[in-house]
Structure 1
Amino acid sequence: MIIPAAATPVPAGLAAFAPGPASPGAPGPLGLLDVFGEEFVRTPHPWLDLLRASAPVHRDAGTGLWLVSRYNDVRRVLLEPDVFLPDNAQDAVSPLPVSALRVLARAGFQLPPALANNGTDSHPGLRRVIARFFGPRRVAAALPVIELIAGELLQAARVRLDTDGTCDLFTSFAQVLPCRVLMNLLGIEGIEPATLIRWSDAALELFWGRPTALRQKELAELVGEFHIWLSATVQSGTAAPTSLIGALARHRLPNGERLDPQTAVSACFFVFIAGQSTTGQLIATVLRRALIEPELWPRLPHEPDLAQRWTEEVLRREPPVTTWRRVTAQPVELGGVELPAGAPLLLALMGAGSDPEVFAEPERMCPYRPNVRRHLAFGVGSHRCPGASLARTEAAVALRLAACVLPQVGLAPGDTDPPMLGLLSFRAPLRVMVSAR
């Protein structure tokens, strides 16, 4: 049972995650849409096509969010951060019960505005720190490390294939590669990748899912552990000056003051989740879509840019980050609809990537389409994902090397309906089971 916010005081620093008032909404022509439902998670594109065609700015009765599905509208929102604020980007989708709030409070959990949810004048400087650390030059220098880790994981997968006849490339490869790469880039030691993956995935489910109250409390325990470890890591004073934590420690805010530890932790929290979970989801989708596409897999080792282009096409059509949130700062017209101040928006990044006004034959996977990189999977403008170069590189390397090391694999017979991650803003297959062809 969710206890109304008025019944129990909300611990300091957790106001964004507390239960709020329910949003009224009458079902319209899309009243049967359930953004958490099995039908939408498995086959979202018919719903997104319907939204774009008949209700491009549609108030969803189930969540109280205004769904924005046309490319030009989504792009406009992202490019006008003073009108469409990022303040709600990391708020909990499902109100947290007091039991979960208490768990988080005991862990000292709080997420001050840092990156995705920061609309203040501190954002540009913080983003520059992150963008420099994960920029194209640093990613290019890290390419040998990415290839080394990917090769090691794929060799282990090949051994498992030879022994067992099948192997899940999600749990053995796609999920692990970005975590190990991130640990290497950040200089993280003394903790198992599986622990970081579990913590990161728990945070996604807690804040972007629709779990039961009991499950929320369980997830809060894991997120609390994550926050305690991250806080200790950031505040230990042992980080190398060249590390991301070292750069954040040196960073000065617009008023000249040093960045406070809580905001540094908040920035790292976001970096860990984006650098691990969402990149792993991208790799899983890239692999699975490549394996079901006729004749694509054997071409990958021989066409130098095919893996990169396939990654871009997956980002357009099946991005792991399917939506993102904004809130209106003032009354505004969007897509022919008058929105009041404080209206929460859900930007359909996946829907924008299949807008036929921008992408010809959007249902077809065409890696050599001329505007293959025009999608909005990484956002656009001042809040564009600073880790885009790393995610792109890891996914392309993962795909190319998988096709080289495992040339004779295909999806395991009968594995046509894998479990899917179906959170508000994140979607990906949770299994890529392969066998020898």
Structure 2
Amino acid sequence: MTAAPGGPGPASATVPVGSCPYGDGTAGTEVFPVLALDQLDVFGEDFVRDPYPWLDVLRARAPVHRDVSTGLWLVSRYEDVRRVLLDPAAFRPDNAQHAITALSVPALRVLARAGFRLRPALANNATESHAGLRRVVTRFFNAQRVAAAVPVVERIAGELLDTVRAELDGHGGSDLFGTFAHTLPCRIMMELLGIDGLDPATLVRWSDASLELFYGRPTPERQLELAVLVGEFHQWLTSVVTDRAAPPDSFVGALVRHRLPDGEPVDVATAVGACFFVFIAGQSTTGQLIATVLRGALAEPGLWRRAAHEEGLAEAWVEEVLRREPPVTTWRRVAAEAVELGGVRLPAGAELLLMLLGSGSDREVFDAPERMRPDRANVRHHLSFGAGRHRCPGASLARTEAAVALREAARRLPGLRLAPDAPPPVLDLLSFRAPLEVRVSDSSR
């Protein structure tokens, strides 16, 4: 992340999740609401609650649209998004982790006192060092390691679901987000990467604070609170990276022993930057995916009980959620030089916001995209993990964790149903969207 100086934007807020994919309630029809794109606010309640009408209009009328409030060019069609992702020379990732809201001077001072400094490492790295660093990370998330990790995922999921069961028995309800979905990937990652001596709840808090500070619109007061947590996170990561006792075959050990293209050992700031990205992606965004998967499965008639035993259904449902409701909704790029995209001439330095959420609902690629159909033939053709050299290295692990989480929860708690409460609050950050609660009760009790 890069902390940009300057004044902050308006406060961030959470709003209820909408239940209808179209603003006029006519799911599946080719009807576009009357929406004025000059009123689009990617942080606004209308967009956060139900982004699909806006995304439909963008694809149909302005597939490459300059958003005045953020200064970003919104790219919403599948083919345009894919083209950008596959051409890192023309569309550089330099701004991928910049703070979307300029940070106040007091917040910057807090980060400076903590020594906060992240060099380009993975998602925002366009240098020659990227390929080697990516190989180090990918080695710990390849297919063989993920397959070997399934028993670990099942064990930890079972332990957390025992807590859910106790809450259901003792209180008549539980929140699958806080008790299960948000905690599961953190514990899995810490075990797989050999991280100990830290309370998982602390890592969750640090990770969430980082996302909010750099991808939200926190008030000046909130920025200070978040900066303290992000500073603590950075200091802890620095202590982990500089600990000479890290085993050579551990994730941190392999990272700090890595050599850059010029033969020099990787510097501390770059190693911390890689860890910063991996830990947040492996914890917060995977937890957001699991929460969305669980809530959607509970809302889909008949799917919850089928997912417990029907071979391949949990995996296919995860893919449909990734297509339609990915936790990572957007990603950023910078045009290296003047270029035409989607019929629009972009100047050199134009900053793009790739609407991953919108690309998964492009009717040119996905038939009846508003329908959740885990049996669709091109179910894995979405761009939610990116594409090309910057494709998410942890995609396989995230998919596996979400599928195992759904299958184990459905098997152990077959009577679960969504509590008849108001729609839950939703995370409303620039690049991240997910329900912040999945409240359930047990119909069998």
Same fold (TM over 0.5): yes
Q: Secondary structure at the match of 2:340?
A: strand
Distance, in Å, in 2 between the alignment partners of 1:346 and 1:308 is 29
Asked if 1:118 is matched to 2:125, the reply is yes
Distance, in Å, in 1 between the alignment partners of 2:211 and 2:256 is 26
Q: Give the structure 1 partner of residue 146 of structure 2.
A: 139
Distance, in Å, in 1 between the alignment partners of 2:404 and 2:99 is 33
What is the CA deviation profile of residues 130-185 of structure 1, one whole-angstrom value per residue up to 9, with x for unaligned ones?
11111111111111111000011001101110110000000000000000000001
Q: 210, 216, 228: which one pairs with 2:235?
A: 228
Distance, in Å, in 1 between the alignment partners of 2:256 and 2:206 is 24
Distance, in Å, in 1 between the alignment partners of 2:144 and 2:58 is 40
Distance, in Å, in 2 between the alignment partners of 1:200 and 1:140 is 26
Please report how far the alpha carbon of residue 302 of structure 1 lies from its aligned counterpart in structure 2 after TM superposition. Answer: 2.1
Q: 80, 85, 91: which one pairs with 1:84?
A: 91
Q: Give the structure 2 partner of residue 11 of structure 1.
A: none
Please report how far the alpha carbon of residue 207 of structure 1 lies from its aligned counterpart in structure 2 after TM superposition. Answer: 0.2
Distance, in Å, in 2 between the alignment partners of 1:48 and 1:15 is 28
- Give the partner amino acid of 1:423: L
Contact 2:3 2:102 (C-alpha < 8 Å) held by counterparts = no
What is the CA deviation profile of residues 45-74 of structure 1, one whole-angstrom value per residue up to 9, with x for unaligned ones?
111011000000000011110000000000
- Give the partner amino acid of 1:17: A
Distance, in Å, in 1 between the alignment partners of 2:308 and 2:407 is 6
Q: Give the structure 2 partner of residue 425 of structure 1.
A: 431
Q: Secondary structure at the match of 1:429?
A: coil
Counting only pairs closer than 5 Å after superposition, residues 352-391 of structure 1 correspond to structure 2 as 352-391=359-398
Distance, in Å, in 1 between the alignment partners of 2:134 and 2:55 is 31
Counting only pairs closer than 5 Å after superposition, residues 17-416 of structure 1 correspond to structure 2 as 17-19=4-6, 29-415=36-422
Consecutive unaligned residues of structure 2, counting only runs of 5 or more, are 10-34
Q: Secondary structure at the match of 1:67?
A: strand
TM-score, structure 2 normalization: 0.92
Aligned-pair identity in percent equals 69
Q: Give the structure 2 partner of residue 3 of structure 1.
A: none
Distance, in Å, in 2 between the alignment partners of 1:82 and 1:376 is 19
- Give the partner amino acid of 1:285: T
Q: Which moved more, 1:51-60 or 1:232-241?
A: 232-241
Distance, in Å, in 1 between the alignment partners of 2:8 and 2:108 is 17
Please report how far the alpha carbon of residue 16 of structure 1 lies from its aligned counterpart in structure 2 after TM superposition. Answer: 4.9
- Give the partner amino acid of 1:70: R
- Give the partner amino acid of 1:283: I
How many residue pairs align between the two structures?
Answer: 418
- Give the partner amino acid of 1:189: D
Distance, in Å, in 1 between the alignment partners of 2:203 and 2:341 is 40
Distance, in Å, in 2 between the alignment partners of 1:219 and 1:18 is 16
- Give the partner amino acid of 1:322: T
Please report how far the alpha carbon of residue 29 of structure 1 lies from its aligned counterpart in structure 2 after TM superposition. Answer: 3.9
Consecutive unaligned residues of structure 1, counting only runs of 5 or more, are 1-13, 23-27
Q: Secondary structure at the match of 2:427?
A: strand
Q: CA RMSD in A?
A: 1.4
What is the CA deviation profile of residues 326-362 of structure 1, one whole-angstrom value per residue up to 9, with x for unaligned ones?
0100000000000000000000001000000000000
Distance, in Å, in 2 between the alignment partners of 1:121 and 1:411 is 49
Distance, in Å, in 2 between the alignment partners of 1:196 and 1:29 is 41
Q: Which moved more, 1:237-246 or 1:326-335?
A: 237-246
Distance, in Å, in 1 between the alignment partners of 2:57 and 2:152 is 44
Change (3 A) 1:21 1:284: closer
What is the CA deviation profile of residues 228-247 of structure 1, one whole-angstrom value per residue up to 9, with x for unaligned ones?
01100111111111111111
Q: Secondary structure at the match of 2:256?
A: helix
Please report how far the alpha carbon of residue 292 of structure 1 lies from its aligned counterpart in structure 2 after TM superposition. Answer: 0.6
- Give the partner amino acid of 1:18: P
What is the CA deviation profile of residues 380-413 of structure 1, one whole-angstrom value per residue up to 9, with x for unaligned ones?
0000000000100000000000000110010011
Please report how far the alpha carbon of residue 20 of structure 1 lies from its aligned counterpart in structure 2 after TM superposition. Answer: 8.8
Please report how far the alpha carbon of residue 191 of structure 1 lies from its aligned counterpart in structure 2 after TM superposition. Answer: 1.1
Distance, in Å, in 2 between the alignment partners of 1:268 and 1:18 is 24
Distance, in Å, in 2 between the alignment partners of 1:196 and 1:234 is 16
Distance, in Å, in 2 between the alignment partners of 1:180 and 1:108 is 27
- Give the partner amino acid of 2:417: G
Distance, in Å, in 2 between the alignment partners of 1:328 and 1:404 is 48
Please report how far the alpha carbon of residue 261 of structure 1 lies from its aligned counterpart in structure 2 after TM superposition. Answer: 1.1
- Give the partner amino acid of 1:209: G
Distance, in Å, in 2 between the alignment partners of 1:79 and 1:400 is 34
Q: Secondary structure at the match of 1:377?
A: coil
Q: Give the structure 2 partner of residue 7 of structure 1.
A: none
What is the CA deviation profile of residues 164-222 of structure 1, one whole-angstrom value per residue up to 9, with x for unaligned ones?
00000000000000000000011111111110000000000000001111111110000
